[in-house]
Chain A
Amino acid sequence: MLDRPGHYDYMPWRRRPKIVWPNGARIAVWLAPNIEHYELNPPPNPRRSPWPRPLPDVAGYSWRDYGNRSGFWRMADTMEKYGVRGSVSLNVAVCDHYPEVIERCCALDWELFSHGTYNTRYFYDMDEEMQRELIRDSRETILRVAGQRLDGWLTPAISNDETTQHVLAEEGILYTLDMTHDDQPTPVNTRAGQLVSIPYSLEVNDVPLFVNRNTPADRYAAICKAQFDQLYEEGAESGTVMCMPLHPYLIGQPHRIAALDAVLAHITSHDKVWLATGRQIAQHYIDYTLAQHRSWIAEGTP
């Protein structure tokens, strides 16, 4: 067993080589709607049971199914209203089950990246060959339905195994979201290839907040605004990243959608904001700052 992921180096939050975002923006804000399908009758995994109740877990299944039928459409309209594109954390089987959802994403010019095949197929105990096949399936599916290159990755339920980041790098993935160690992109060390991490979030993620922490919708909005305000301020020193992970079955509920509206109104009322996609953030970082970060690490982060 590993005592750490071992994929990144220590980078203290002071005197880092400066990240400069396009047009002098202080902060790159990106929204990551998790568009998922949780199977009614998934196979078992040795390390995690997909559903807490005996199959079929009607309560759990139907809650999430709501996201693709109702929540997604409401969420997409709210994002369109503010001109904010999504970078979809996509269970690629959604392309086969609900092509209308993907058509809407493409019409809005959203990025699609992979969140595995189904959210009920974990990577725990998956050998490298199976991981590789699955990544290739994702790449082919996203290319087929959207004409896009697969650049980003978030393992379903963050169930990555020890080797996953290595396989991602070898398969030419640009950025991973499996680690939440930072508020800026960072280099990722792998046995081959090049991979970077860009910030996802478990702090302003609607699942931990609404499901685990019992957060009321107005408090959710206040937390997201506080997150933005702080990172916007710090971005004057060196560009920061704020990710808002969304789950249509939660944020797209009628009693919560106004909170998303309020947060997007707040963010878009600021001028030094880069409303970006995951791919754009990763590519900009690779083009302009990655080498400087690697040098600074090599020098002992003076």
Chain B
Amino acid sequence: MTLPASYTDYPLRKRAMDHDRYPYRILPRTSPVTWPGGARVALWVAVHAGWFPMDMPTKPFIAPGGMERPYPSYWDFTQRDYGNRIGIYRMMKAMEARGVKGTALLSAALAREYPVLMDDIAAAGWEPACAGLDMGHLHHGGVAEADERAWIDEARSLLHGHFGDTVTGWHSPAHSESARTPDLVAGAGFTWTSGWANDDMPYAFATAAGTLTAMPLSQDLSDQRMLLQQHMATEDFTAAILAAHATLDAEARATGGGRVLTLSVTPWLMGQPHRIRAFGAMLDAILAHGGVWSATGSAIADAWRTQQA
């Protein structure tokens, strides 16, 4: 047995991406954008508020934060649910004290489960965005199109029922998508997404239903990656954020073009009593640096979009 000859055919081997979603773009050669007030860095606090069903599937992979212990894992479920009861309120308080707005990347099921939390998110002036139906409904290549379409419609309708048309962003849970997810998301009326973690700046993402603005949301620099998966110390995570900020700020100074610093943070991790002070201190250090525009995802996407030719 050997591989077929076609194994070394490379039909897409040319100067382009191997898909049609976006062209290659070189960050240092990207035309500069400016932020309101001449800010160098737009600070986007993206807060993952997830609903993790205790009976969620473990195939084709366990979502970050998924049920890792045998059913019924009260351990996993209640530790995550803590974030929706307590952790997110601690983060709201810490952010409000510093005039920082957030975007809540919401499992839409939370609108059904905890309407009071939805009211409090709206009252805090945060942007609500849709992070799928819940963490038990991951979008991936094995999901039938009709199912995926129904999940997106249900998620959209749950959040729109509560927040109206202020919901314009979509984040695919666990950064997982099928080949058609962006088309369905755009078709459902969303205008920005953050599932593809491949840039420090927004870019245009083509779909069968129009263009989405792809927002930078790092997997590498996230509390789920560093604190949950890599077991790093809280201080190592906040130091990494501050190092990213220093680099992005220096690039903005050098090029005259604004940058985006995204905090990908999770209430059941960063909202714990032993971490919340480090979270606040990190925000203080970012703001003390100056030249920061604290904004929601949609505000950043809008500002970027209006400067594209």
CB distance from B287 to the nearest CB of A (A): 21
Given contacts A1-B54, A13-B86, contact A226 B116 (CB under 8 A): no
Taking a contact as CB atoms under 8 Å apart, the answer to whether B233 and A219 are in contact is: yes
A-B pair count, CB < 8 Å, reads 101
In-complex Cβ contact of A183 among B71, B86, B114, B234 (8 A): B86
Is B79 part of the contact surface with A, judged by Cβ < 8 Å?
A: yes
Residues from 227 to 282 in A contacting B, C-beta threshold 8 Å:
227, 229-231, 234, 242
Report the stretch among B178-186, B209-217, B267-275 that lies at the interface. B267-275
Interface-facing stretch out of A4-12, A35-43, A76-84, A128-136: A4-12
Do B75 and A4 have beta carbons less than 8 Å apart?
no
Chain A contacts of B77 at CB under 8 A? Answer: 4-5
A171 at the interface (CB under 8 A from B): no
Contact among B85, B116, B117 for A182, CB-based, below 8 A: B85
Most buried by A among B69, B74, B276: B74
- Establish whether residues B71 and A47, one from each chain, have CB atoms under 8 Å apart when the complex forms: yes
Smallest CB gap from A228: residue in B: B273
Q: Is B153 an interface residue (CB 8 A)?
A: no
Tell me which residues across on chain B come within 8 A of A4, comparing CB atoms: 53-54, 77, 81
A158 touches B277 (CB 8 A): no
Do the beta carbons of B272 and A212 come within 8 Å of each other?
no
CB nearest neighbor in B for A3: B53
Query: Does B72 count as interface, using CB distance less than 8 angstroms?
Result: yes
A-side contacts of B81, CB under 8 Å: 4, 181
Given contacts A14-B89, A162-B72, contact A2 B120 (CB under 8 A): no
B272 touches A213 (CB 8 A): no
Q: Which residue on B lies nearest to A124, using beta carbons?
A: B70
Q: A140: CB under 8 A from chain B?
A: no
With the chains together, A95 CA to B85 CA distance in Å? 38
Chain B, residues 120-161, CB within 8 Å of chain A (1/0): the string is 100000000000000010000000000000000000000000
Q: A202 within 8 Å of B by Cβ?
A: yes
Contact B55 A2 (CB under 8 A): yes
Contacts of A231 in B (CB 8 A): 273
A124 — which chain B residues lie within 8 A by C-beta?
70
Q: Are B55 and A229 in contact (CB under 8 A)?
A: no
A165 to B233, CA, bound (A): 34
| Shortest beta-carbon distance from B120 to chain A in Å | 6
Assess whether A70 is interfacial by the CB under 8 Å rule: no
Is the pair B70, A3 in contact by a Cβ cutoff of 8 Å? no
Q: How far, in Å, is A302 (CB) from chain B's closest CB?
A: 9
B273–A158 touching, CB < 8 Å: no
Chain A residue numbers with a CB within 8 Å of B273 are 183, 203, 226-227, 230-231, 234, 242
Majority SS of interface residues in chain A?
loop
The answer on a CB contact under 8 Å between B233 and A12 is no
Whether B117 contacts A12 by the Cβ 8 Å rule is yes
| Contact residues in B for A162 (Cβ distance below 8 Å) | 72
Beyond A12-B120, A226-B277, whether A1 also contacts B82 by CB under 8 A is no
Contacts of A178 in B (CB 8 A): 74
Candidates A12, A179, A183; contact of B78 at CB < 8 Å:
A179
* B113 within 8 A of partner (CB): yes
Q: Is A295 an interface residue (CB 8 A)?
A: no
- Tell me whether B89 and A202 are in contact (CB under 8 A): no
Is A54 an interface residue when CB atoms closer than 8 A count as contact? no
In whole angstroms, what is the CA distance A10 to B84 when docked?
9
Contacts of A5 in B (CB 8 A): 54, 72, 74, 77-78
A214 to B234, CA, bound (A): 13
Decide yes or no whether B225 CB sits under 8 A from chain A: no
A50 to chain B, nearest CB (A): 12
Q: Tell me whether B82 and A181 are in contact (CB under 8 A).
A: yes
Q: Is B162 an interface residue (CB 8 A)?
A: no
CA distance A10 to B54 in the complex (A): 16
Closest Cβ of chain A: how far from B251's Cβ, in Å?
33
Contact call A214/B79, Cβ cutoff below 8 A: no
Whether, in the assembled complex, A301 has its beta carbon less than 8 Å from a beta carbon of chain B, the answer is yes
CB distance from B138 to the nearest CB of A (A): 16
Decide yes or no: A214 and B89 within 8 Å by CB, A1-B55, A5-B74, A10-B114 being known contacts: no
| Across-interface contacts of A180 in B (CB, < 8 A) | 75, 78-79, 82
Instruction: Indicate whether B90 reaches chain A with its CB closer than 8 angstroms.
Output: yes
Query: Known contacts being A1-B54, A10-B113, A230-B274, is A182 close to B231, with CB within 8 Å?
Result: no
Is B75 a contact of A202 with CB atoms below 8 Å?
yes
Within B20-63, the residues touching A (CB, 8 Å) are: 53-56
List the A side residues contacting B53 at CB < 8 Å: 3-4
**Is A213 touching B231 in the complex (CB atoms < 8 A)?**
yes
Is the beta-carbon distance between A13 and B54 smaller than 8 angstroms?
no
| Residue A289 is within 8 A (CB to CB) of chain B in the complex | no
Pairwise interchain contact B78-A10, C-beta atoms closer than 8 A: no
Closest CB pairs A-B (n = 5)? A13-B89, A230-B273, A1-B55, A227-B274, A3-B53
17 A-B pairs whose Cβ atoms sit less than 8 Å apart in the complex: A1-B54, A2-B55, A5-B74, A10-B85, A12-B85, A12-B116, A13-B85, A14-B89, A158-B74, A158-B75, A181-B78, A181-B85, A182-B82, A182-B86, A223-B234, A226-B275, A242-B273
Q: A12-B116, A158-B74 are in contact. List 20 more A-B contacts (CB 8 A).
A: A1-B71, A5-B54, A5-B77, A10-B116, A12-B89, A12-B117, A13-B85, A160-B74, A161-B72, A180-B82, A182-B82, A182-B85, A212-B231, A214-B231, A223-B234, A226-B277, A230-B273, A230-B274, A231-B273, A301-B116
